[in-house]
Structure 1
């Protein structure tokens, strides 16, 4: 935790972007539209949420501060959604209306 309310640092942005690039080199050509700090991605019910507003877009939010712990399970649910198998996402009530 930190009481630092300053904008994103170069270090934090580099760490995040380096991690993304190490997952897939395609991130090298991605465009950064916005970087925000001071907010934790939590939803009202404090559970992760998955939305698919279009066929080529999946949005994941609500992982809060422990997202790295639940990210593998959320990814499994997203892969099931993409492959048309909704059982895991439905089981944990991760799907949200668009």
Structure 2
């Protein structure tokens, strides 16, 4: 497997550098080769990603009618969500 997007390997120094473009567990293989043969080593690195709220807008609420709307988040590890200032009669359930 190739290095994760945004990272590169300097073949002369063996330094992996760059800015990964996504979070999560990223797996790759490094192969060393010379005139006597080659060997592979597999690696996995964890790349964290800042939490963000990805839901851009909420559906309208009608007084006296039940309402449910999911708020989506992104980030790695998964985000913890808290809500403040909800109108009376609405509550928030995480998960």
TM-score, structure 1 as length reference: 0.19
Q: Give the greater-gyration-radius structure (CA).
A: 2
The answer to which structure has the higher strand fraction is 2
The answer to which structure has the higher helix fraction is 1
